[in-house]
Amino acid sequence: MAFSAWLTAHYEEKGPVRWLAFALELVAAVTLFLLMFLTCADVVGRYFFGNSVDGTTELTEIGIAILVFAEMPVITWRGGHVVVDILDKMWGSVALKVLGLLSAFLMSSAMYFLGVRIFELAERSLRRDEITELLEIPVGYIVQYIAVMSWATAALMITYGIYHQIIQNRD
């Protein structure tokens, strides 16, 4: 089937993680496209029709959060975060692997504990009925989303991320 061939060619991940990566990136891609479209519609509306899209700023803010945190698990498990590699030549490959595992552990822990606090903040915000100014969207939902994606990042990093590091280093 053409689509599954495309998916295999595009995603280095294995098994169900490949589908997960595709789903997350699809969310990010659609959001980004809508962000672009929204800004253009707002400007065109304001300039030519004297009427801008209500709540463009709010939707843009929510859009960035969706975009960034949909990608967070993917770039994290792929080891995509920016690293200073000045000393790489000095370290042996075993040492680099150990450092990689240490990083994975620290990153997962950080994302897990922050996720817990972010989720608590989201619940508090929902309890207090905090909404956006114009569209009156409950702010807490987007914060909950960030919390859930932080947990997803932690869980996938400590499992698939480490597996990915090990097979990558073996190649």
CB of 15 to other proteins, least distance (A): 20
CB of 158 to other proteins, least distance (A): 14
CB of 16 to other proteins, least distance (A): 19
Phi-psi region of 114 (alpha: psi -120 to 50; beta: other; left: phi over 0): alpha
Report if residue 5 touches other proteins, rule: CB under 8 A.
no
What does the DSSP assignment read for 5-43? HHHHHH----HHHHHHHHHHHHHHHHHHHHHHHHHHHHH
Which positions from 15 through 54 interact with other proteins, judged by CB under 8 A? Answer: 25-26, 28-33, 35-40, 42-43, 46-47, 50-52
Q: Round to whole Å and give the CA distance between 168 and 127.
A: 45
Report if residue 69 touches other proteins, rule: CB under 8 A.
yes
Residue 138 backbone phi and psi in degrees, to 5: -60, 125
Which positions from 138 through 167 interact with other proteins, judged by CB under 8 A? Answer: 138-139, 142-143, 146, 150
Report if residue 113 touches other proteins, rule: CB under 8 A.
yes
**Orientation of helix 162-170 relative to helix 93-127, angle to 10°:** 160
* Paired tokens of 131: 């909404």
CB of 165 to other proteins, least distance (A): 12
- Out of 1, 5, 82, 94, name the contact with other proteins by CB under 8 A: 82
Report if residue 97 touches other proteins, rule: CB under 8 A.
no
